[in-house]
Amino acid sequence: MGERPLPDLLTVTIVTPSYNQGEFLEDTILSVLNQDYPRIEYLIIDGGSTDHSVEIIRRYEDRLAYWVSEPDRGQSHAINKGFQRANGEILGWLNSDDVYCPGAVRAAVEAFEMHPDVAVMYGRADVIDSDGDILLPFAREDFDAPACITRARCVIPQPAAFFRRDVVQRVGMLDERLKYSLDWDYWIRVAMAGLKISGMPQLLARMRLHPEAKTVRDLLDLYKEMVTWVDRFFSQPLPPGIAALESRSRSSALLNLGRQHFYAHQYTSARRAVLRGIRHYPPNLLRDRACWLFALSMLPGPAITLALRLKRLWFGFPPALETRERAARVA
């Protein structure tokens, strides 16, 4: 690739949505500008930050294709504004607290050129803390739309994902109603459009968890939005094989929400979500996690608190929750 004339190389457009994350923004910007791929169009869409974010952006504006700082309707809207200005054949977005690994863009382009039938390509990612120390690898798996819908779980690390420009032309922009599950929703829509999504082995990005990250600060809201997503998704016409997953998908989303309510010590809401989840798909009781949640739902509050303490002592909590709590304790 290094010996090819510059005009022959694909242009990659990266959009960074930004709002009051000046503490991490410079690391994000430099991780893009320091890539070894020569044809990157970089756009920063700031939502009118009141911290020192704009000062940081101005520091690098001569290397940006475009930037703006003005009020917007949230992250999805900011990313869509960037995509509307994009000229690249390959697109991606990098949140203002995440970073690319060196060589990430070049690796993604090479993967697309080797696999012209693939619309979305994603690599591996590590989860890091405020200081950039690695907490754990993101639990990435091979993407399978029916399995993801059934489990109500995203297996694609968003900052490690890139897609072809014609995906936007086929699928449209991000859903601006979504605050947390915008990437999950987009990958499912891509799959429903019959476009191919494929993983690659390279480590492409690092996702930062910190006290002000949405997935730390608003963890319960994230799972509530997923329940809403399931309701909305199955209210539309779907292929019979996908429509048949409704009960299992709804059950999984409710069980996930119930689990988070338990961890937040909101036991009444937890019981309600878990019991609704079991009613939607009773065979879930055969799964260890669902059976455990159901058993917790039958206990009085003090016994639930004791059971959760013992579980944490003997088995630990889910790695993602432990990671989020570790980030939150920094506050």
pLDDT digits (tens, 9 = 90+) for 222-235: 899 999 999 999 99
Q: Spell out the residues 6+ positions from residue 131 whose beta carbon is closer than 8 angstroms to its own.
A: none
Query: Which residue, 154, 174, 208, sits at the end of a domain?
Result: 208
Task: Specify whether 179 is located in the same domain as 47.
Answer: yes
Helix (H) or strand (E) segment spanning residue 86 = none
Domain that holds residue 155: 6-208
pLDDT in tens, 91-102: 999 999 999 999
Question: What CA–CA distance (Å, rounded) separates 257 from 274?
Answer: 8
Six token digits for residue 80: 């869509």
- Bridge-partner residues for 163, per DSSP? 91, 120
Task: Specify whether 252 is located in the same domain as 137.
Answer: no
DSSP code, position 11: P
Task: Specify whether 225 is located in the same domain as 142.
Answer: no
Structural domain tally of the chain?
Answer: 2
Q: How far is CA 260 from CA 247, 255, 256, 264, 274, in A?
A: 20, 9, 6, 6, 10
Which among 248, 257, 253, 246 has a CA at the least distance from the CA of 219?
A: 257
pLDDT in tens, 70-117: 999 999 999 999 999 999 999 999 999 999 999 999 999 999 999 999
SS3 labels along 43-63: EEEECCCCCCHHHHHHHCHHH
Residue 154 lies in a domain: yes
Task: Specify whether 267 is located in the same domain as 175.
Answer: no
State the pTM of this model. 0.89
Task: Specify whether 226 is located in the same domain as 197.
Answer: no
Confidence of residue 330 (pLDDT cuts 50, 70, 90): very low
Task: Specify whether 150 is located in the same domain as 222.
Answer: no
Task: Specify whether 184 is located in the same domain as 229.
Answer: no
